[in-house]
Amino acid sequence: MLGIIGSPVTHSLSPLMHNTAIEALGLDYVYVPFAVPSDGLIQAVQGLRTLGVTGFNVTIPFKTAIMPYLDKLSPEAELIGAVTTVNREGNSFVGYNTDGRGLLRSLAEDLDFAPQGADILILGAGGAARGAIGALCEAGAESITIANRTRTNAEELLARFKKLFPRVKLDLCDLVDLTSTDFLHGIDLVVNTTSVGMNNTSFAGLDVSLMKPSTRIYDMVYAPLETPLLAEAKARGLKYANGLGMLAAQGEVAFALWTGCKPPSGMMRDCLLAAVEVK
């Protein structure tokens, strides 16, 4: 048995993409969503151990809270400070963070983008931003600037990653006033890690027209498939991608950890796309 724990989880597309891959490969697994109340995490982890579950995904609000209840953490999970995938290895539950790898793979496949030497603007400073910043620093980014609604949250992240990656130029800027021509013109990649864009909301302070033609825009939001930020990127002729590729790529990484098998190429993305288009 495989699954996902979180609250809420009923909206999650992970059961669909994993069960589709399981069926296609004829594997003897099933992937189940487990809605766990926010005060029930310890009992849930104990229950999953006792029941002999092979592995599971972890989503909001447990990505950081689960860490003390696992036996071991991968270097990525430790670095990012969050777990998105747990795998049973012998009698141990080992925590991984597959989001960073998912983002890097999607950036390469969807935007033909490699972070080495790049100047990057991150919108947001929550859990998703941590994963992105950790992966981009490790992948050799030259500079990362964080713009967040609540400045203190960005400051916390900045201090953490400055200590971990003294080589990378890390800085903050104001989310409501991203209009400095010199700064924006130097940016190679913008990554939205916030939920802004989900309800057709947009970043009023970000002027995409000031970016150079080679700038890539990545939005982790995938419903709608084209957020106002991506629509603006499209209108300006910039390369852009939504978060569907990242969701599928992190799913492929988790699936391989659990089953030792690779899902058929493109299958997870195709079934996610079909599901989002129907909604």
Residues that bind ligand ATR (CB under 6 A): 60, 124-129, 148-150, 153, 193-196
Considering beta carbons, is residue 71 or 155 the nearer one to ligand ATR? 155
**Contact of 4 with 15, CB cutoff 8 Å:** yes
Residue type, 98: T
Q: Give min distance, CB of 199 to ligand ATR, in A.
A: 9
Task: Give 145's Cβ-side CA count (13 Å radius).
Answer: 17
* Phi, psi values for residue 75, rounded to 5°: -55, -35
Q: How far is the CB of 197 from ligand ATR (least distance, A)?
A: 10
Amino acid at 214: S
What tokens does 46 get?
A: 């104990």
The CB-of-43 to ligand ATR minimum distance in angstroms stands at: 23
**In the complex with ligand ATR, which residue's Cβ is closer, 22 or 158?**
158
Nearest to ligand ATR of 22, 221 (CB atom): 221
β partners of residue 85 = 57, 96
| CA distance linking residue 169 with residue 142, whole number of Å | 6
Beta bridge partners, 122, equal 146, 191
Taking the least distance from each CB to ligand ATR, the nearer of 124 and 245 is 124
Compute the distance between CA of residue 146 and CA of residue 160 in angstroms, rounded to an integer: 13
Q: Which two tokens stand for residue 188?
A: 């190679």
- The CB-of-1 to ligand ATR minimum distance in angstroms stands at 26
Complex with ligand ATR: residue 152 or 265, whichever CB lies closer: 152
Task: Give residue 149's identity as a one-letter amino acid code.
Answer: R
DSSP alpha helix (H) spans, 28-126: 41-51, 75-80, 99-111
Shortest Å, Cβ 97 to ligand ATR: 12
CB 31 within 8 A of CB 4: yes
Look up tokens 């310890």; give the residue: 42
**Residue 60 or 235: which CB sits closer to ligand ATR?**
60
Q: Which of 63, 72, 239, 279 is catalytic?
A: 63
**Residue 202: exposed, middle, or buried by beta-carbon count in 10 A (0-12, 13-18, 19+)?**
middle
Is residue 234 annotated as part of the catalytic site, yes or no? Answer: no
How far apart are CB 148 and ligand ATR at their closest, in Å?
A: 5
What lies within 8 Å, CB to CB, of 135 at 6+ separation is 76, 80, 99, 100, 101, 103, 104
Q: Which residues are catalytic?
A: 63
